[in-house]
Amino acid sequence: MSDPAFLSLAQAAQAVRSGDIAPHALLHACRARIEHWQPRINSFISQEEHSGNPAGALAGVPLAHKDMFYRAGCVSNCGSKILRGFVARETSTALTRLDEAGAIQIGTLNMAEFAYGPTGHNEHWGDCRNPWNTEYIAGGSSSGSAASVAARLVFGALGSDTGGSVRLPAAACGVSGLKTTWGRVSRHGAMPLSASLDTVGPLARSAEDCALLLGAIAGLDPLDPLSAREPIEDYGAAIARRARGLAVAISTAWIERDAEPEIAAAVLAAASVLRASGARLIEVEPPDFDTLSAHCLVVMQAEASAQHAKWMRERPADYGSAVRARLEAGYAIPATVYLEALRLRAAWLERFCSTTLAAADLYILPTIGVRVPTLAQTGPMGGTDMPRLLAQVTRLTRWVNYLGVPALAIPCGFDSRGLPISMQLVGRPFAEATLLAAGHAFQSETDWHQRAPT
C-alpha cells in the first residue's frame, strides 16, 4: 500500500474495519508526517495518544484537535499565555463522543490566542503556517486543525467557529470545514468565546469525512443547556442524495463584481459543476453581508470582552497585542447596541430564509473573496493596510454566525500562486445534511479536495 496517510478518513475507517490495515500503521504514517512537517508549519502544540472504543465506527483513525477542547487530566492552553499549562477537570462532550466512536486523539493543535483571530498568528506559541506556502496565513482561529489536515498529518480535526474560525482556515489550506448550526454540537468542555455565536465543527479532507465526524459529535447534550433538541440525521447516508433536484441560489453579478477575478471564476465554475450534477441555479440578490457582519462583530466583541473581563483587569499584559486590542474595543460597545443586535437577529434570519432561500435549498458564494494574504501582510508589522485586509478576509463568514445557520467551506480551485480557493455553501438552520450532500456531489466530480501540498 502507498502511504496510508493519504487515505481519506472514510477510507481509513473502512480499511481498519475490514482488516486491510492495522491502526498502528495509520498511527505510524501520521507520526512520520508530523515529524517531517511540524518544523515547517507549527501546527501541533502537543503530541499524545488517547484511544477510543475499538468497536466504534471511527475505530483506529488518528485525529487531533484545536487546543481548546478539554480532556480531564490533560493540558489545554487555548493558544494563550494566561492558560499555559491549564489542566482540565472535565472532558468535552465532543471529545467523549469521538472516543465512543473509536477515534484516536494523537495531539492538540495550534490556534489563534483564545480563538480570537482570523489568520493563525500567535505571539505565545508561534504562528501556524500554510502548508501550501509557509509565507502565507493558515487562517484562523482553527489554524492548526486546517494545516494538519491539509498536510495529511491527521485524518480530521475539531475546530470552533465564532466568526469564520472553521471556514477561514479550511479555505486558506484547501480542506473541507463545516460550521454547524448554533446548538447542533455541544460546546460543553470547549473554551468559550461568545455564547451567542460559538459553534463546534469538523475539518477534514472531504464533505464525506465531515459527515462522518458530524455524525459522531452532533446531538442534544444535557451538559450544554444551549444544545438543540432538533433530531440529528444520518449524515453519512445523507450524502448519497447528491445534487439532483437541489435548488442552489447564487448572486452571479455580485460575485463577478465583488470577488477577485480568480476567486470569482473558480466559484462560478463550481456552481456550473453543481448544475451539471443535476442542481438548478437560481439568481438572487445577495444578503446584506456588511450589515450582518457588523451586527456579528458587535455581539462577538461585547461577549468576548465580558468573558475576559477578569483577566483583562488583572493580566492585560499577558495577552498578545492583537487580541488585547480586540478585547479593549469590546468595552466601548454600549449595552443598548449589543441588545439591539441580538433583538434583530431573528428578523434577519427570517429574511434570509424567506428571500435568499425562498426558492432554494442553499446559497453559494466564496468563502474568502480575496486571495490568501501573507503572514507579513496581516501580522503586527502589517502596516496601515492591515485592518482593511483583515476585514476583506472575514467579510463573507461572519454574517453566517450572526444568523446561526450552517455553512460548508470546500476547495474549488487554486490561484496563480498555487494557493487554494474555496467556496461556501450556506443553508437553513439544521440543513447540514443538504450542504454535505451538495458538497459531496461536487467533490465526486472534481479532485481539488484530493490535492495535497508537497
Residue 147 lies in a domain: yes
Per-residue pLDDT tens for 130-162? Answer: 999 999 999 999 999 999 999 999 999 999 999
Residue 312 lies in a domain: no
> How many CB atoms are located within 10 Å of the residue 452 CB?
16
Residue 15 lies in a domain: yes
Catalytic residue selected from 43, 92, 141, 293: 141
Q: Please state whether 72 falls in left (phi above 0), alpha (psi between -120 and 50) or beta.
A: beta
Residue 308 lies in a domain: no
pTM for the whole structure: 0.98
Domain that holds residue 172: 4-291+325-450
Alpha-carbon distances, residue 327 vs 92, 116, 277, 297, 313 (angstroms): 26, 9, 46, 12, 11
Residue 272: pLDDT over 80:
yes
Question: Domain tally for the chain?
Answer: 1
Per-residue pLDDT tens for 155-172? Answer: 999 999 999 999 999 999
Residues 341-366, mean pLDDT to the nearest whole number: 98
> Can you tell me the distance from the alpha carbon of 130 to that of 117, in angstroms, rounded to the nearest whole number?
15
Residue 200 lies in a domain: yes
Confidence of residue 383 (pLDDT cuts 50, 70, 90): confident
Name residue, grid cell 508537497: 454
DSSP secondary structure of 239-291:
GGG-STT-EEEE-HHHHHHHS-HHHHHHHHHHHHHHHHTTPEEEE-PPP-HHH
| Sign of the alpha-carbon dihedral angle for 194, 196, 202, 205 | negative
Return the pLDDT at 380: 84
Whether 81 sits among the annotated catalytic residues: the reply is: no
Return the pLDDT at 2: 86
Burial of 220 from C-beta contacts in 10 A (0-12 / 13-18 / 19+): middle
Residue 316 lies in a domain: no
Confidence of residue 244 (pLDDT cuts 50, 70, 90): confident
Residues 241-254, mean pLDDT to the nearest whole number: 93
Q: Please state whether 429 falls in left (phi above 0), alpha (psi between -120 and 50) or beta.
A: beta
Return the pLDDT at 161: 98
Catalytic residue selected from 8, 43, 66, 196: 66
> Can you tell me the distance from the alpha carbon of 205 to that of 208, in angstroms, rounded to the nearest whole number?
8
Q: Which CATH number fits the domain that encloses residue 189?
A: 3.90.1300.10
The single-letter DSSP state of residue 231 is P
Mean pLDDT of the residues in the chain = 97
Return the pLDDT at 243: 82
Name residue, grid cell 459527515: 211
Per-residue pLDDT tens for 186-212? Answer: 999 999 999 999 999 999 999 999 999
Residue 300 lies in a domain: no
Catalytic residue selected from 143, 165, 176, 186: 165
Return the pLDDT at 385: 87
Residue 450: pLDDT over 70:
yes
Cβ-Cβ contacts under 8 Å for 168 (sequence gap 6 or more): 118, 139, 140, 367, 368, 393, 394, 397
Return the pLDDT at 240: 87
Share of the chain above pLDDT 70, in %: 100
Residue 313 lies in a domain: no
Return the pLDDT at 381: 82
> Can you tell me the distance from the alpha carbon of 181 to that of 429, in angstroms, rounded to the nearest whole number?
6
Q: Please state whether 42 falls in left (phi above 0), alpha (psi between -120 and 50) or beta.
A: left
Whether 66 sits among the annotated catalytic residues: the reply is: yes
> Can you tell me the distance from the alpha carbon of 254 to that of 225, in angstroms, rounded to the nearest whole number?
39
Cβ-Cβ contacts under 8 Å for 343 (sequence gap 6 or more): none
Residue 222: pLDDT over 90:
yes
